[in-house]
Amino acid sequence: MTTVAGVALVLGVVLAGLVVVLLLAVALQHRQRTRRQARDARRRAELMPTVHALLDDPADDADDDPAADPQLASAPRLLDDLVLDLLPQLRGSDRQALQRVLAARGVVGRAAADLTARAAWRRGRAATLLGSAAATEHTPALAARLADRSADVRSAAARALGKAGDPASVTPLLAALAGPRPLPLGVVGMALLDLGTPVLPALRTALTDGSPAARALAAEVLGVHGDPAAAPGLLALLHDRWQPPEVRRAAATALGRIGSPQATAELTQLLATGPVPALQRVAAEALGRIGDPAAVPTLVSGLHATDPGVRAACADALAAIGDEGRGRLRVLAIGSSPAGRAALAALDAVATARQWRRPVTSR
């Protein structure tokens, strides 16, 4: 027993010693990290005047080579991190000035070379950096990474193309929705939205090109932008019965967001004769957004559809159109049929919305 107790005591002392060593190691690591963060913060503060001087340069110095500045050329790598952190917050000439700094210091060139690195993390980091630097001259190289064997690199390349702002990126981004390594729809959609309104002409062209997923996403983004010039192309998609249902749904939704009354006839036709309830629902929702009173009779008929989703969408659309639509709903709400219940639910929703919008008066 004495031997067992002695062994237990020794093990306890060893274990306590290990715990103390571990705690000391954690404390030392924390102290080193704190010192490093303080040092980086101090260096960043020292470099900020240099960055401010770059941003204060007049616009006519755009052709000057930043690399000719000895202070800038000898600045530590931390300056590159500081510039990259600031870039997303800047626009116009300020952003261009810092982009020239990154190019002059070789940051952009090294990132472009890393796009073909063996390690996936280096390829992804390079794509992200090129996007932040808005290096549009590297659009083809970034577009090639959309087919990278790594899913993370493909997504990084898509996001980088969106941030870089080159309208020529629309075609490869939409093409990346199909193929053996397709990109997620949300990633491509956000990249297209980041590109802004300069890509609207390319998106209109894409309505007739590419895969069904590409046509549907192009329609969706055009609708988000509310592009009136896209209405004819969207109407053509909606009218084409050979288009896949997801493409026609996206076209109907986009026309509703654009709010074009010229789409009323096509949308009412789709609501009345739609092959599937999903198409009828989006047609009713689009008609509600457009608000054309000419759609009221078809929407009233839609209240008697067999699909409850179609009935609810038609009732909501009638409520959105205005007094004429709500008047029809009040008449139908008297009954207890499925149409009456849908009408009553839509009217209740309107009343609730009005109550929430009512200003609160203090007593």
**238 within 8 A of 214, measured Cβ to Cβ:** no
The string of pLDDT tens digits covering residues 256-289 is: 999 988 999 999 999 998 778 999 999 999 999 9
Query: Which domains are seen in the chain, by residue range?
Result: 78-195 (1.25.10.10), 197-258 (1.25.10.10), 263-355 (1.25.10.10)
The string of pLDDT tens digits covering residues 16-67 is: 888 888 888 888 888 888 887 777 677 667 666 766 666 776 444 555 555 4
What pLDDT, on a 0 to 100 scale, did the predictor assign at position 84? Answer: 75
Cα separation, 343 vs 346, in Å, equals 5
Cα separation, 271 vs 239, in Å, equals 12
As given in the structure block, the two tokens for residue 10 are 């020794």
Question: Which parts of the chain have pLDDT scores under 50?
Answer: 58-60, 67, 362-363
How many C-alpha atoms does 316 have within 13 Å on its Cβ side?
15
pTM of the model: 0.77
Q: Is 230 helix (H, G, I), strand (E, B) or coil?
A: helix
